[in-house]
Each structure stands twice: as structure tokens, then as C-alpha cells.
Structure 1
Amino acid sequence: MSPPEVPAATSHASAFGGLGSVYLAVLFDCMGAMMVMPLLPFLAREMHGSPFAIGCMQSFYSLMQIIGTLVLGTLADRVGKRKVLLVSLFCSSFFLMAFGLATTLWQLVLFRGFNGFFAGTVSICQAIVADATDAEHRVGKMALIMAAYGVGVVLGPGLAGLLAPWGVLAVCMTASCCTFLNFLLAYFQLPSGAKAGPKEQETCEQQEEPGLPEDESVEDLGAWDTLQRLLALLLSDPVLSCVLWLNFLQELTMGAFMGVTALLFADVYGITGGGLGEIFCVAGVSMVVFQGLVVKTLVDQVGRPTSIMAGSVIRACTYAAMAALELPLLPWLAPVGIVAAGALIDPCTACIASERAPSGLSGIVLGVFQSTGSLGSFLGPVLAGALYCVWRPAPYWAASAASAACIPVVMPLVLHHRRLRREELKAAEGLQGASGDSEVPLLGPLDQLFNQAHQTTGARREHPGNFAGGECL
């Protein structure tokens, strides 16, 4: 069946309407989570929790987030993204309130874990944006998600610092109210068309997918068949595999950073919960500014893989500085460097992952993408807590090594991107004439592997021979 003349982006836009409510969902959800984050270590210490216990509490949150994103991502593709998003927001609001009423350490861990299960709203929002935009504009829309996330990072800790004198309950109740307001905004503003609709999408862009008959949609497949298709996609697409590894390593370092940095700042610099909220607020402002003024221009100039590599280098150096130095300005400068590097990394990896997803699997693929990050966030705090008990700088040396390990992972993507750019330049300059040399491909074995995977995974691209459909990298 040949696709109609209506562009896919136009059809999706009419189906989903404006994306403003999606960005608001990310903003308020992040703001509610970040309001509680700076106070967690201090609250656990009041209940006689060790650094290792604090790390375990953070890790349990991420473990439940891994399970939740997989479950919610699968449900989003089957029953609709809007329904799953609304349930997640409502439950997050409830468990934030319950967290504020906790009186024992095990209650903190339990309610924090339930909150983590329903914290997969970002991947659902990313899937909605990916379905509603074309490849040319997708990186900008994904960057807006990260900008909304950054605004939440700014407002959440700032409000927590202002409310800290009134106690943890006031902070948690405010966070719960913010998330419930998010639920109301999504309920009234998010269009009901924000659901996975492979049957509807076939009218816009028909694509044969491996193992999926022409008259069968993803909604008709069982959970086991969906899992089999997902595993086949991961095994056959080296690009997606690289992105998942990158996401895991980056979130591993961030988990370590978030798990013990509050303890480091308190033990070395005497910074309390209110001061930590101010530090996160400054870091969030820098993320928003960097995202708006630098990231899009830099990505357009050097490409997404190079941007990811630059962010990895910045994080490796920043973690090493936190391990080796004790400077008065370090508590303010280090988080700025960490989040600025994240502004270079996160939108690019999320965009590549979304563009590698076949039709109808964007929710589960982005759910797996977030779950790999949640796995890193699960391991990071507990490992950092154990290392912190042995030697205070150890978690940051380990985080620096993990960030440096991202460089060899992303290097094949960088080299492939540069080869494609050279090919495009030569074609534009007319250097590929009708001679026999023009028939010799410019791509090496690695590029051929990437392109073969690109064709077999059924990804939707304008130019199937390119590594990323013209715009993925």
C-alpha cells in the first residue's frame, strides 16, 4: 500500500494538537520530584540511615522506575499514551503526599519506590512528541522537553529551599499539589488522540515491519510477541544498542552524583538542605540557558554524536575535579558543569532512540531507553553509598571513569557521522560524476553494518541508505 500525499507530521499534528500540555507535564512532574530530592539524605539521616542506606533508598526508586517504565511504555502503546500519563501523574501525586507523612525509614523507602514506579512520564511525553513531529524538527522538540525538565530542576529545589523551614511535610505536600495540578492540566488540555495508533498511522506512513503482517497492528500483538519484536530490534540495530549503553553509563554517573553529593557538601562544606536547594536552582538555570543558547546551534554544527562526546568529556572532568579538589566555589560550579553536559547528551540520545523506533513501538522503545537509564540510576546510588563509606572521593573517581567509558562507545557514531557528511559534501560539489569511481561506496564496513541494521529494523526514513534518515545524527 502506498502512502497518501499528506505529510506524516501534518497528520500527527492534527491528531495530537498542540504539545504545550506535554511540556507542562514534564515541567510539573520534574518540579515535584526535585522538590523532594535535596531533602532525602538529610531526612534519612534523621531516621538514623547510613550513607549506604540512603543510596539503597535512591536505588530502590530507580529499580521501581525500571519496572514502571517498561510496564507503562507497553501499556502506552496498547491502550493509549494519554490514559497512562494521567494514571501516572495521579499516582505520583498520591505517593508524594504519603512520603511526606512517613515516620520510619522503611516507609520512606516504600513510598519512594511507589513514586518511582509511576515516574515514567518523561518517556511517555517523549513518545508523544516523537509521534507528533517529523525527523527534521524532532531534535528541537526533544530539546524543549529537556528545557521543560530544566525549568522543573530550577523551580523544584528553589521552592524546596524556601519551604524547608516549615519542614519536610510542607515540601512534600507542595510537591504533591504540583503533580496533581499537572494531572488536571493533562486531563483538560492533552488531546484524547495522544495514543498509540498504528492502524491510524498506516494512513500517513505505511511501513512493512519484520514479523508483522500487513493487516496486524501492534495493538493486536500479545505481550510476548511485542517482547520478541523488541529483542529482535535491539539485537539487529547497533545504533540503538550504542545509545542504550550511553544512556546507562550517563545515568550511572548521575545516580552516583545525586546519591551522595548532598552528604559530601554537608560533610566538607557544611551545606544544609536549603543551601542544596539553592545550588540545584542555579544549576537548573544554567541548564535552561545552555539548552536555549548553545545546544541547538552546536548540534547543527557538529552533529549529535560529537555533542554527546563533548558532554561526556565535560562530565568526566567535573567528576574528577570533585574527587581531587576542595574549593569554596566547587559546590556551585560542579553541578553547573554536570547539568550543562547533560543538556548536550540527553536530547541527542533521546532523539536518536526515538528515530530508531519502528512504527507503533515508540512507547516501548523509549520506555526501554528510560529503563536503561533507570538501571544506571539504580546501581549508581547504592554503589556510591558503599564507596563513600570506604573513601569519600571514591564515588566521583568511579563516576569520572564511567563518563570516560562513554567515549569509545560513541566514537563509532562520530566516525560514521563524519563519513556521511563528507559524502554529502562531495555529492553537493559534484565530485561524484558518471565515472566508475562514483560507483564505489564511500562507507566502510562499520557504516554498512549500521545501514543494514537501519533497513532491517523498519525505521521510517526519507533516505534509507543514510545512517539516520538524514537527520538522526
Structure 2
Amino acid sequence: MIRPLVVIFTAIVLDAVGIGLIFPILPSLLQDVTHAENVAPYIGIMTALYAVMQFIFAPVLGSLSDRLGRRPVLLISLAGAAINYLFLAFAPNVWKLLLGRAIAGLTSANISVAMAYITDISPEDKRARRFGLFNAMFGIGFIIGPVLGGALGDDWLRLPFIAAAVLNACNLLLAFFVLPESRTPTREKIDLAALNPLRPLRWVFSVKSLLPIIFIFFVFSATGEAYGTCWALWGSDTFQWSGLWIGLSLGTFGVCQTLAQAFLPGPAVKLLGERAAILTGVTGTCIALIVMAFATQSWMIFAIMPIFALGGIGVPALQSLATRQVDESQQGQFQGVLASAVSLASIAGPLIFSSFYFVAREQWPGAIWLFVVVVYAIGIPLVLGLRLKEPAPAPAM
């Protein structure tokens, strides 16, 4: 039982490493292949394209794993990831980089298969703990990725992709020889209608009382996309950071967020209540963003990381509050809707923030962080207006 979990958790770490390693080097890489001075729009398109592919193919891979088995789908996705990173390492122009990033998003959609595998092999009393470890592995990978990408990218812009290809190839070999099948494939015909990623959203518009909480999730998730999209550009433009320093700053941010989410939400909700914990998290994040907007020295960014980490208590508190908006019989459907909202935010956020940065860069790069504060402010009245309502019946889909 331990060996399959090691393989699955390693795959999750590598998925997160693959997401994070490109952030520190992406501006320089795009400048190298496009020869454009302001590459913010390209960054937004690449980040959104990755999210689009995840959004579309997560349900597809999940359904295929039900019919064909978890093991073959995971092996194919790991092989695809290794080949894709080699493709990215030697892509000579922006169109091939975009194609490679799209394939990367497709292969990273195996997260839904990994979660299904953990469910298959875990008794109910161990699932919560193992899903907690699942989230921790993703956090670890996202901390390692930017640091690894920044350090290797300073030597050669393509080197991080070669490193990721080697790591995924090693995990593919490990999975091939160690990972057993976790369930008997059904071999049933796939229901194409069930693969529509927008299908869960149909319910939202029939239960309008849930629209505010869905919109809050969308807004807060979209703000999180600003960091991956604009952090490296801003660090380079404002402080002339190298890839290593961009990676270290993102890694520090990831460590603080992970620690805050691991230890603060429970005590914060118990002391303040869910609504106040959400607002406290938003306040801490906005204070840090305002400091970043006006910062003139690098040390200021690292100094405010503990304040930034307060934002880590907001999302778990929001998730807790959200679960109380519907009764137990609707929780699965509701969580599917929230996942769809987060996915759509991952597509829209990079396009919005990269466009703003493209316009503001010459005059004031730090203005991007004030724009993020403004977007946060849109959600605050909705948080204040949330009420625990009687759950509405779910119509048949």
C-alpha cells in the first residue's frame, strides 16, 4: 500500500514542480523567442492556455481511468509530460512554446486520476489524512519548482525543462515497475455529455441564492493568478531580479502560504468566526500588496511575507463557509460547481492581469498589485452580505 502512494505523491510533486519552474524563466524565454520587449500578453496567453487544457481534460482523463483503469492513464500522462518538457526545451519559436504549454496542461490534468487512485486504495477512515498529504505534496512541488527553475534558468533558459523531463521519466519508470492497478476497469462506453466541464454550472443558474458565493470563489481565485502571471515580470522590472531571486521569492511565498494554511485556519475560525477570518485574510493580503506596489528595495518583499501569509487563512475559511450554504445531499454537486468556478478563474485571471501589466509597465510596474487590491475589493461586500440560507432543492440534470 505504501509503494503506490509514494508513486502517486511523487507524480503530484512533479506536476506542481512543472507548473512552478516556468514562472521565473518565462519572461526571459519569451523575450528570447519573440524578441519583444514587453512579453506580458504572451505570459497571460500561455498561463491561460495551460488552465484551459486542465479544465477540459481533467474530466476526460477521469472518465477514461474509470473505463480503462487508473494505471494506463497515469502512465500515458507521465510519458506525455516527459516528452513535452523535452519539446519545450528545444522549441524554437513562440507557437511551439504555446503548443508545448497546452500539452503540459493536458498531462497535468492527471491530478483527477491521482485523486481517484487514492480513493480506490484508501479506506474511508484514512482518506482525509491522505488527501491532506496530497495537498501538502502539491505545496511542496510548488515551492521547489520556482527555485529550481530560477537557479537552473540562470545557467541556460532551457535547462529547467530538461530537468523536469528527466524527473518525469524517472517517475514513469517507477510507476511502470511498481504501480499496480487500483480497480477493475468497467470497459463501459463513455458518456460524452458527462465530459462537458461546464455541465456543473447549469445548476448554479437554477439556484440563484448560490450565485454570490460562487462569484466570491471566482474573484478570489482570479486574484491568485496575478502572482504566477506578473510576479517574475514585476521582479525583473522593479528590482532587476535574476531568475534565482525570482524563484527564491516565489518559493518563500509558497512556504509562508503553506505554513499559514496548515496551522492558522482552524484557530482563526474558532477565534473570529468564518466571515471575520475571510476578511482578516483579505486584509493581510491587501496590506502586503500595497507595500509591494510602492516597494523600492528587495528586502521589503521578503519582510512582508508573514503578513502576506495571513491570506492563507481566508480560502479555508471561505471553503468552510461555502459548505454551509447547501445541505449534505447537495455537497458533491456544489463542490463540482466550485471547482468549475476556480478553473474558469484560472483562465480569465492571467488574461486580465497580463493585459493590465502590459498597459501599466512603462509608467509603474507596481500598479499591478493595486489592481489586484481593487479586484479583491469587489468580493468584500459579497462576503459581508453572505447569509446561511435554507438549501434549495437541486433540479434534475
Distance 1:232 1:362, change over 3 A: closer
Instruction: Kindly state the Cα deviation for residue 317 of structure 1 after the two structures are TM-superposed.
Output: 2.4
Write the letter of the residue equivalent to 2:354: V
What is the SS of the residue equivalent to 1:103?
coil
Answer whether contact 2:49 2:101 (CA < 8 A) is retained: no
What is the Cα deviation at residue 166 of structure 1?
3.1
Distance, in Å, in 2 between the alignment partners of 1:456 and 1:366 is 15
> After superposition, what is the alpha-carbon deviation per residue over 1:163-193, rounded to whole angstroms, capped at 9, x for unaligned?
2343122211111222334445555666633
The DSSP-based 3-state class of the residue aligned with 1:97 is helix
RMSD over equivalenced CA pairs, Å = 4.2
Q: Distance in 1 between matches of 2:184 and 2:394?
A: 26
* Distance (whole Å) between structure 2 residues aligned to residue 183 and residue 349 of structure 1: 34
Report the counterpart of residue 441 of structure 1 in structure 2. Answer: none
TM-score by length of 2: 0.78
| Deviates further, 271-280 or 334-343 | 334-343
Amino acid at match of 1:262: A
CA pair 126-301 structure 1, distance change in 2 beyond 3 A: farther
Q: Is the 8 A contact 1:242 1:409 kept in 2?
A: yes
Change (3 A) 1:395 1:290: same
Aligned to 1:87: 76
Cα distance in structure 1, aligned partners of 2:352 and 2:160: 25
Aligned twin of 2:161: 172
Cross-structure match for 1:407: 380
Distance 1:102 1:365, change over 3 A: same
Residue among 286, 294, 297 paired with 1:316: 286
Task: Specify whether residues 188 and 242 from structure 1 end up closer, same or farther in structure 2 by C-alpha distance, changes over 3 A only.
Answer: farther
CA separation of 1:260 and 1:220: change in aligned 2, threshold 3 A: closer
Cα separation, 2, equivalents of 1:62 and 1:181: 28
- Aligned partners of 2:221 and 2:342 also within 8 Å: no
1:383 alignment partner, one of 355, 364, 389: 355
Which residue of the partner structure matches residue 289 of structure 1?
A: 259
- Find the partner of 1:46 among 21, 32, 52: 32
| Structure 2 residue matching 1:326: 3-state secondary structure | coil
Q: 1:401 to 1:190 in 2, by over 3 A?
A: farther
Q: Which amino acid in structure 1 is aligned with residue 344 of structure 2?
A: T
Q: Distance in 2 between matches of 1:30 and 1:117?
A: 14
Aligned match of 2:52? 66
Could you tell me which residue of structure 2 aligns to residue 246 of structure 1?
216
- C-alpha deviations, 1:94-118, integer Å up to 9, x for none? 2222111122233323322322233
Q: Please list every run of 5 or more consecutive structure 2 residues that lacks an aligned counterpart in the other structure.
A: none
Q: Distance in 2 between the 1:29 and 1:76 partners?
A: 16
Matches within 5 A, 1:124-203: 124-125=113-114, 138=128, 142-185=131-174, 192-193=181-182
Matched-pair contact (CA < 8 Å) for 1:51–1:260: no
Which is worse superposed, 383-392 or 232-241? 232-241
Residue 399 (structure 1) shift: 0.8
Q: Give SS of 2:264's match.
A: helix
**Contact 1:260–1:384, Cα closer than 8 Å, also in 2:** no
Whether the 8 Å contact between 2:146 and 2:250 is mirrored in structure 1 is yes
Letter in 1 for 2:168: T
Deviation at 1:401, TM superposition (A): 1.0
Q: Is the Cα contact below 8 Å between 1:262 and 1:276 reproduced in 2?
A: yes
Is 1:32 the counterpart of 2:2? The answer is no
- AA aligned opposite 1:375: I
Matched, 1:276 2:246: yes
Q: Which residue of 2 aligns with 1:102?
A: 91
Q: 1:369, CA displacement in angstroms?
A: 4.4
Unaligned runs of 5+ in 1: 1-13, 198-216, 417-446, 459-473
Q: Percent identity?
A: 20
Pick which of 364-373 and 89-98 moved more.
364-373
Q: Who is 1:440 aligned against?
A: none
Residues 383 and 390 from structure 1, CA distance in 2 versus in 1: closer, same or farther, beyond 3 angstroms? Answer: same
Contact 2:40 2:358 in 1 (8 A): no
| Residue type of the alignment partner of 2:237 | D
> C-alpha separation between the residues in 1 aligned to 2:328 and 2:171?
30
**Given that residues 226 and 372 in structure 2 are in contact (C-alpha distance below 8 angstroms), is that contact kept between their aligned partners in structure 1?**
yes
TM-score, normalised to structure 1, is 0.67
- Can you list the C-alpha shifts for 1:128-170, whole angstroms capped at 9, x where unaligned? 66786869974x6554433222211222223234323431222
Over residues 401-434 of structure 1, what are the superposed CA-to-partner deviations in whole Å (9 max), with x where a residue is unaligned?
Answer: 1122222333355x42xxxxxxxxxxxxxxxxxx
Moved more, 42-51 or 299-308: 299-308
Task: For 1:446-465, list aligned pairs within 5 A.
Answer: 447-448=389-390, 451-452=391-392, 455-456=393-394
CA separation of 1:238 and 1:329: change in aligned 2, threshold 3 A = farther
Give the aligned partner of residue 266 of structure 1. Answer: 236
The match for 1:397 is 370
* Alpha-carbon distance between aligned partners in 1 of 2:134 and 2:156, rounded to the nearest angstrom: 31
Q: d(CA) in 1 for partners of 2:342 and 2:305?
A: 22
What letter matches 1:246 in structure 2? I
Query: How many aligned positions are there?
Result: 388
Q: For structure 1, which segment, 176-185 or 90-99, has the greater mean C-alpha deviation from structure 2 after superposition?
A: 176-185
Distance 1:294 1:360, change over 3 A: closer
